[in-house]
Amino acid sequence: MSERIVDGTYQPGGRLPSGMAICEEFGISPVTAKRVLTELRAAGLAEMQVGIGTFVTELPQPPAEG
């Protein structure tokens, strides 16, 4: 999932799939799907809005060269 955030598959501000959708897409258990979402939030890649869903955060921009 983090790779999909970094490569732009999931855009900043966009809603991530639900835990159940992640289970179906990746063939994982609900416990593992919840862990994935927790780790994305811990890494600063996503934020949860209670009762609404989990959304991609703005990725930090690398410093401009020059």
Query: 2-56, what's its fold?
Result: Arc Repressor Mutant, subunit A (1.10.10)
Question: Using 50, 70 and 90 to split pLDDT, how confident is the model at 59?
Answer: confident
Contact 52, 38 (CB under 8 A): no
Model confidence pLDDT, tens digit, residues 9-53: 999 999 999 999 999 999 999 999 999 999 999 999 999 999 999
CB of 19 within 8 A of CB of 34? yes
- Tell me if 5 sits within 8 A of 56, measured CB to CB: yes
pLDDT at 2 over 80: yes
* Single-letter residue type at 13: G
pTM value > 0.75: yes
